[in-house]
Amino acid sequence: MGIVRQMIQQDTPPPAVEKALAGLDEAILGQIPPVWIEPMANWSGYCAYEFVAEGEIRISDVACGVRLDTDSPALARVTRDIILHEYAHRLLGPGYGHNGAFAAMRLTLSFRATNLPDQDEHPDWRRVKLYDIHDHHQDSLITMPQALAWAWSTAQELSKTASTAEQCAATIKARWTKFTDAQEHRAERLERQKAQQKRAAIDAEQMAEAKKRTHRLDKLYLFGFGLIGYAAAILVAVHH
């Protein structure tokens, strides 16, 4: 369980944080980093190494309910959602942002957290959002539906294994590399096919134009031969 450290004026951690962390390590087969709670204006949480001091996950005091109904099970689930989101970032490391690999990691953790006793009709995986794959919003190589489908199938498989969260992260990164490479090769093949189709269209157009020129020349030759024949006939008539 993550060690809770507060940077707010409160004697004990908010109940929502304690509930969110209870049994979480065992459920996800991982180890949540220390959790720091602090006032935040814009974010619910973050964990990027360049912004944290000791590898911790920092979450907003507002997001975890310091000023709200802290006994709410729903609030504990929201808090766990923030923690799992940031933990997924920590497991993958820099360079992944909110892409298909991140969504797969996030879903793997959420599928496992569904085994916790407070799920009821609101399992954790329902809290995974399109925000988790928004890097593909205008990606022509891998679209959001493609990224989500890949992430979902990968997470469904990995979440049922005995692999630790760290091992799942390594598997996801390796598979994502293969998937993106395959998509790049596919894109290259499509580009080659488009280029071939374009060349074929140009060739067909050139052939059609050549046929038109040949037809025009044939008509010109026929006209020329006809004119010569007509002139010859006139000359013969004059001589007679």
Q: Go through 165-175 and write b for each residue having 16 or more CB atoms within 10 A of its CB, e for each that does not.
A: beebbebbbeb
Residue 204 belongs to some domain of the structure? no
Least confident stretch, 10-19, 48-57, 225-234: 225-234
Residue 209 belongs to some domain of the structure? no
d(CA 162, CA 213): 73
What does the block give as tokens for 121?
């009709």
227 contacts: CB under 8 Å, gap ≥ 6: none
Name the β-bridge partners of 60: 38
Q: How confident is the model at residue 218 (pLDDT cuts 50, 70, 90)?
A: low
pTM of the model: 0.73
Residue 33 belongs to some domain of the structure? yes
Least confident stretch, 99-113, 132-146, 160-174, 180-194: 180-194
Q: How many domains does the chain have?
A: 1
Tell me which residue range forms the domain holding 169.
4-190
Mean of the per-residue pLDDT values for the chain?
Answer: 81
Mean pLDDT across 92-109: 95
- H and E: helices and strands count for the chain: 6, 4
d(CA 151, CA 139): 16
Give φ, ψ of 80 to 5 degrees: -65, -35
Q: How confident is the model at residue 6 (pLDDT cuts 50, 70, 90)?
A: low
CA distances to 200, 211, 234 from 203, in Å: 5, 12, 46
Residue 195 belongs to some domain of the structure? no
Higher pLDDT, 214 or 110: 110
Residue 238 belongs to some domain of the structure? no
Q: How confident is the model at residue 1 (pLDDT cuts 50, 70, 90)?
A: very low
Which pLDDT belongs to residue 186? 65
Residue 26 belongs to some domain of the structure? yes
Residue 232 belongs to some domain of the structure? no
Which pLDDT belongs to residue 108? 96
Residue 210 belongs to some domain of the structure? no
